[in-house]
Structure 1
Amino acid sequence: MTFTGFDPDAPAFYAELEQHNTKEWWLANKQRYDEAVRAPADALIEQLGAEFGPVKIFRPYRDVRFSADKRPYKDHLGLVTTPADGSALYLQLSQTGLMLAGGYHRPATDQLKRFRAIVDDNRLVGDLEATIEEVGEAGFEVFDEDALTTAPRGFTADHPKIALLRLRNLAIRRVHAIEPWMFGPESLDRIREGWRTIGIWNDWLVENVGPTVSPAQRR
């Protein structure tokens, strides 16, 4: 199946799901999900996989076992690559638009330590900042929504690169509001372009930070 764009009903599906996040509504609209969300996603996965490697679609069900939020279904479509080096490419479609993102999500403590050492080294931080500037020219920004509110241990709050030191996710993203191009063939080219740009960031991460050597170790 050829991907010709997202179904225009997909954002509306998620808008309605937000208002009726119940098993009863889901079952009544399951065919709609299959046709408006899942079928185009499967076609997109096949075409992206040819260039970027295997792409996984996230299940639509939320894991509510340890959450106070018991809504059973996710309010968005999520696609992701999971290469062996740990750097990811991500796509999210929701009622509000499309997000392209990637990098190291929830990096381990040893990865953050190496990243912060680079930020703190005047000989090395320039290459990082140049990479951020390069992807920024394509509309990507560093993901800082969950950054530390204080300086990480070993650094002072007046450090000249404190914004980078506070990062807890080493990821970038570009967010698009709902636009007509998302529902036509042009969307494939735009997604590919976005993921290729994220590849510049991921290449820097893999070369300079690298995968964790302590998989069980977290922030």
Structure 2
Amino acid sequence: MEFTGFPVAAFDFYDDLEVDNTKSYWAAHKSVYEEAVLAPMKALTAALEPEFARDGQSVKIFRPYRDVRFAKDKTPYKTHQGAFVASGPATGWYVEIAPRGMRVGAGFYEASGPRLTAVREAVADDKTGPALKRTLTKLEKAGFEITGQQLKTTPRGYDAGHPRIDLLRHKTLTAGKSYGFADFIHTAELLEHVREDWRALKPLVSWLERAFARAD
């Protein structure tokens, strides 16, 4: 299937799902989800996978169902559809459609103890740490927002006065950009926007890959 954009019906579907997050709504509109959301997302990621996915990695289109076993909120369905093109363990590129429009990003979303330690060592290193800082500064100037889970305290073994203490506190690190409801998201042109932004994020992903390699 050739990617031609996400139709307006995809956003209408999620607008309504936020209001009526029930099995009866889902059953009545499942075909809209499959045709207006899932099929275009598969086509978009299939077009991007050859350039961005590493050998042995694959596209992950997240399930629409929420895991409510331990959640206070028992609504059964996610009100967004995300997809992840992996370049390594929990590292790679992301795209999402939601009621507030579309967004793209990249980074690492989870790290085991040894991998997180490796990232922090690379941040603290006087060569690789400044290189990451320069990459993130460039991305911010290009319109990306730098986010991620952070410790409120100083990581064990590091000085609170470290020049990159803000980065050392990160448990996850991502750079993202919102497209909102730009007209191009409804057209095939969206593919090139995502491709261009993911290419801009390659220095961040490559830096993370090199950092994680220290733990492997």
TM-score, L = length of structure 2: 0.89
Secondary structure at the residue paired with 1:99?
strand
CA distance 1:56–1:209, change in 2 (3 Å): closer
Deviation at 1:211, TM superposition (A): 7.3
Structure 1 spans left out of the alignment, 5+ residues: 214-219
Match of 2:146 among 137, 142, 146: 142
Distance 1:86 1:23, change over 3 A: closer
Distance in 2, matches of 1:127 and 1:149, equals 24
Which residue of structure 1 aligns with residue 19 of structure 2? 19
> How many residues were matched structurally?
212
Q: Matched residue of 2:201: which SS?
A: helix
Secondary structure at 2:160's aligned position in 1? coil
**1:175 pairs with one of 175, 178, 181:** 178
1:161 aligns with 2:181: no
Q: Which one is further off, 91-100 or 37-46?
A: 37-46
Residues 1:194 and 2:197 are matched in the alignment: yes
Tell me: CA distance 1:27–1:182, structure 2 relative to 1, closer, same or farther (3 Å).
same
Partner of 1:91: 95
Deviations for 1:3-36, whole angstroms, at most 9, x for unmatched residues? 1111112112111101110101110111111221
- Pick which of 31-40 and 182-191 moved more: 31-40
1:76-87 aligned at under 5 Å gives the runs 76-84=80-88, 86-87=90-91
- Once residues 111 and 42 of structure 1 are traced to their aligned partners in structure 2, the CA distance between those partners, rounded to angstroms, is 30
Shift of 1:133: 2.4
Deviations 1:176-198 (CA, angstroms, capped at 9, x unpaired): 22111111121110011111122
Residue 208 of structure 1 pairs with residue 215 of structure 2: no
User: What whole-Å deviation, never above 9, does each CA across 1:164-183 have from its counterpart, x for those lacking one?
Assistant: 11111032212222111111
Q: How much does 1:119 deviate?
A: 2.6
1:33 corresponds in structure 2 to 33
Once the two structures are TM-superposed, the CA of residue 72 in structure 1 deviates from its matched residue by: 0.6
- Aligned partner of residue 35 in structure 1, secondary structure: helix
Kept in 1: contact 2:90–2:111 (CA 8 A): no
Query: What are the ranges of 5 or more consecutive residues in structure 2 without an aligned counterpart?
Result: none
Higher mean displacement: 184-193 or 131-140: 131-140
For residues 163 and 84 of structure 1, what CA distance do their matches in structure 2 show?
A: 24
The CA distance in 2 between the partners of 1:76 and 1:211, in whole Å, is 35
How far apart in 2 are the matches of 1:14 and 1:50? 29
Distance in structure 2 (CA, Å) of the matches to 1:91 and 1:211: 28
Contact 1:85 1:210 in 2 (8 A): no
TM-score by structure 1 length? 0.88
Work out the CA distance in 2 between the residues paired with 1:82 and 1:161.
Answer: 27
Q: Is the deviation greater in 160-169 or in 13-22?
A: 160-169
Displacement after TM superposition at 1:147 (Å): 1.3
User: Contact (CA 8 Å) 2:90, 2:110: kept in 1 or not?
Assistant: no
CA contact (8 A) 2:120 2:168 kept: yes
Using the TM superposition, name which of 153-162 and 200-209 deviates more: 153-162
The answer to whether the aligner puts 1:105 opposite 2:86 as a matched pair is: no
Contact 1:85–1:206 (8 Å) recurs in 2: no
